[in-house]
Structure formats: C-alpha cells, structure tokens
Structure 1
C-alpha cells in the first residue's frame, strides 16, 4: 500500500470515527469532522499533509499525490 492509499484510508476511518462520536458521545465532536475536512481541503491545494509526513517516517512508500518534490 502506498502513501496515497494509506492517507485516504486513514482519513476515511477518522471521519467515520468522528461521526460515530458525534452521534453517540457528544454533538461537539462534529468539530473533529470539520477539522479533518479542512485538513483534506488544504492538502489538496498546498500538497502538504501532516499525516503524510508522519506515515512517511514509518517507511510507507510515496505515491503520486504526496511524493517528494
């Protein structure tokens, strides 16, 4: 699995977790979902993703979207 697919899977899991927390724990967890969405949006425009840097440190090979420039 390359870095791109790892980031997409991680973002999807985090969104599902935040929606579940919003539903079952507190409606304030919706801000976690907003944060994830804002991070995805800024990484689409800037190419910088903090999670990609962290996963890269774990040795996951870069894909097309978050490769070294």
Structure 2
C-alpha cells in the first residue's frame, strides 16, 4: 500500500464513521465527516496533507499525489 491509498482509505473511514456516529450517537458527530471532507478538498488544492505526513513517517512508500 502506498501513501495515496492509505490517505484515501483513512479519509473514507473518517467520513463513514462520522456519518454513522451522527445517526446513532449524536448529530454533532457529523462535524467529523465535514472536517474530513474539507481536509480532502484543501489537500487537493494545496498538496498539504497531515495524514500523508504521518503515513510517510510510518514508512509507507510515496505515491503520485503526495510526494
């Protein structure tokens, strides 16, 4: 697995987790999904992604998007 796939999997899990928790626990958990979505949009424009930096530090190899 490379950094690009790990970031996409992590972001997708955060969006789904936020949606499920907002339906089952408290509506304010939707903020997690909103934050993850906003972070994906800003990363697509700036190339800066904190999750990619963490995955790089964990030793995953670089993909095409986050170098």
Query: TM-score scaled to structure 2, two decimals?
Result: 0.96
Question: Structure 2: which 5+ runs fail to align?
Answer: none
State the aligned residue count: 67
Gaps of 5+ in 1: none
Query: 2 CA distance for matches of 1:13 and 1:47?
Result: 20
After TM superposition, where is structure 1 displaced by more than 6 Å over at least 4 residues in a row?
none
Shift of residue 11, structure 1, vs aligned partner:
0.7
1:65 matched residue in structure 2: 65
**TM-score when normalising by structure 1:** 0.94
